[in-house]
Structure 1
């Protein structure tokens, strides 16, 4: 599935978010810090193997030259029902271990298709006092970004391709599955091999910044000055509450610093 042309990341106005903006960094944090309790407590059900699945797994394990003779005989003699129960236990342990490794080792960074959702501005944009970064998905790290799937039911995983070595990373898809209550986020996730990693994106990846309706003018000026020194092509947008629907509307902002306004004889228009 192809990603949208732009994706958005909501930020609070903090020293850390300013530093990340100045250094052009996207941070990949641990899923253990996410605010959805099911992000870190997924207990996916395992699809019960069919008779054909059981025989496929039996053949797969018997073909391993390193398998111990006792285990080999057990696989050879076990009935489909006994072997099915054995494989379900093996599969559950394998899956639990993969989830544990993912949570402790992998880093995730979250983005949205939407820049004008009130809940997003409230939850992630510091109650409309923060800002929202617009990224072009043509640049890294968006080439392998995954769309979050929203569902009412807990995921069901097929253990057969996992045990046969045909699916080496089922947990990434698992952690791109969320409860349908979160569907308003229209989320996409980028996953890094190591948690706590700060990825430096190319300057052309950042194409716009949207300011929340309640973001102080001083904060807007600080961000504009940071961009003026390194990302002049980035378009700035001022947000306001729509008078017609429950959303945030944006108008382009052309920032002029106080010194530039003074030089041009435009005193009184600085910051407009």
Structure 2
């Protein structure tokens, strides 16, 4: 499945040009490498500071584009939200109010590796000098958890996976709640509750309804009782 945001995981960031001092530090760092080829050593030695700065910038642009293209082909992303009552979220991802929203315990694996998405009003900046000098690629990795401020209503968290197109499972105890959309049919509620009753009896169920005073979905908890249980309890004839 693709992203509905054309910038998602495909950002071309603004790469900050290294200062003269940073460029010289980078020159010395590469010249100190024992395995540097003679041709490369000559290039780093003879180029002016301005020429070297332009070289680093071209290399950075190429490396980030390659990383982005490779990411979209080889990595997977699982997306979550902090909210369960937003109208747009239910419309876009909740089957137009006929689906379900799952609540997870984030202390249980694999949810410990999820990271919050940051929302920015403009494309992010990446300091190539900092990356090359300190060997940290965290700023590049953050690009895959960065979106336009237009999407901030999603309050998204996401997990990055090493394999694309892979289905991941979670331990039954990780699921703590199921929120049913306001327009879900009774049969679907019955099926979900029956399946979960045999997997995790601690899951709590909530039925959604439209608020009469706010633009949001309200939820009320209910206790599921199967047909057989109801008969045993004398609740049915």
TM category (shorter chain) comes to over 0.9
Match of 2:106 in 1: 137
Unpaired runs of 5+ residues, structure 1, are 1-28
Query: How many residues matched?
Result: 237
Unpaired runs of 5+ residues, structure 2, are none
Match of 1:247 in 2: 216
Counterpart contact for 2:90–2:97, Cα < 8 Å: yes
Deviation at 1:172, TM superposition (A): 2.6
Deviation at 1:252, TM superposition (A): 0.6
- Structure 1's consecutive aligned runs of 4 or more residues displaced over 6 angstroms after TM superposition are none
Counterparts of 2:234 and 2:203 in 1: how far apart (Å)? 25
Match of 1:266 in 2: 235
* 1:172 pairs with one of 105, 123, 141: 141
Deviation at 1:199, TM superposition (A): 2.4
Match of 2:50 in 1: 81
Match of 2:74 in 1: 105
Deviation at 1:162, TM superposition (A): 3.1
Counterparts of 2:184 and 2:130 in 1: how far apart (Å)? 50
Match of 1:51 in 2: 20
Provide the secondary structure at the position in 2 that maps to 1:222: helix
**Per-residue CA distance 1:73-122 (angstroms, 9 max, x = gap):** 11112111111011111111111111122111111100000001011000
* 2:205 pairs with one of 223, 228, 236: 236
Counterparts of 1:134 and 1:54 in 2: how far apart (Å)? 49
Counterparts of 1:150 and 1:96 in 2: how far apart (Å)? 21
Provide the secondary structure at the position in 1 that maps to 2:178: strand
Counterparts of 1:186 and 1:40 in 2: how far apart (Å)? 17
* 1:219 pairs with one of 174, 188, 192: 188
TM-score, length of structure 1 as denominator length: 0.83
The answer to which of 190-199 and 79-88 deviates more is 190-199
Counterpart contact for 2:126–2:140, Cα < 8 Å: no
Counterpart contact for 2:205–2:221, Cα < 8 Å: yes
CA RMSD of aligned residues (A): 1.5
Deviation at 1:164, TM superposition (A): 4.0
Counterparts of 1:46 and 1:83 in 2: how far apart (Å)? 15
